[in-house]
A and B are shown apart, each in its own frame.
Chain A
């Protein structure tokens, strides 16, 4: 692996985790007694930006290196399902994240002032953040399994 690819993979991992933390913070702050709208705006835009960067860096690594260098190792190793199930699922479900994060961003930035009084809106937004969080956590865990199987 070249140094550029190592850096891109490292950035993908760390930025992805930052996105996960930002989504978690958004959900957590949504349920505070007094919703901190400013913090919600910061966390929602951080999550969106992080998923975009993780997408670009991970995507480059995947297209340029993974397919020809890592995938054969995994498929010939003791855990071929790490590619056939985990990686195949991960690379496609990841595409949901920027879409979901953008919808969350719109609601927080455009309707943030309504979240305190409007419980139904808050709960509906929480559902979208929850599925975003669950997908990003499973992306991280899937990545650990895939990397662990590349030996």
Chain B
């Protein structure tokens, strides 16, 4: 297995843990809200899921920088200034800042959830869209729009499942 294949494998494991963690964290959180409180068992499950998500994030970041090293060492420096890469980096920065603000209880959950889900799926999408040839700002504007669309979708899901608007 060459370095590139190894890095892709590790990176995808991180993405799987992160995207899966964000998705199931959201689903479990919603289920826990059904009785308007998070009991100890639900809290424990959420804690496990969020720990898995953070492990995924660490793997994604470390393997991502592995790619940067590979580009630098193999004469592919032009990839390091690719707008798609910088959009992905920005989204990861938003993701980690969001996690920090949620931990500090400075981020309302309705916004934090939307940012988290959109950021993970957004980073995944940017990784897949190899031929996307847009500017950095176009990617970010699209990301911002999707964040608000996602907040709307999550609110509708909560309304249908919990019977009340939460936003």
Contacts and interface: CB of A to CB of B under 8 A. Distances in A.
Task: Please say whether chains A and B are actual partners in one complex.
Answer: yes
Contacts of A50: none
B51 to A, nearest CB: 12
B68 A13 contact: yes
B167 interface: no
A137 B93 contact: yes
A136 to B, nearest CB: 12
B96 interface: yes
B80 A147 contact: yes
B61 interface: yes
A145 B80 contact: yes
A17 B100 contact: no
B165 interface: no
B93 A149 contact: no
Contact of A148 (B61, B75, B77, B93): B77
B65 A14 contact: yes
B72 A24 contact: no
DSSP majority for the A interface? helix
B108 to A, nearest CB: 16
Interface string A1-18: 100001001100110011
Contact of B104 (A31, A144, A151): A31
Nearest to A143: B68
Contacts of A145: 80-81
A100 interface: no
A147 B61 contact: no
A150 B99 CA distance: 34
A129 B65 CA distance: 22
Contacts of B96: 24
Contacts of A148: 77-81
Nearest to A126: B104
A141 interface: yes
B58 interface: yes
B68 A147 contact: yes
Contacts of B58: 21
Contacts of B75: 151
A108 interface: no
Interface of B: 58, 61-62, 65-66, 68-69, 71-73, 75, 77-81, 89, 93, 96, 99-100, 103-105
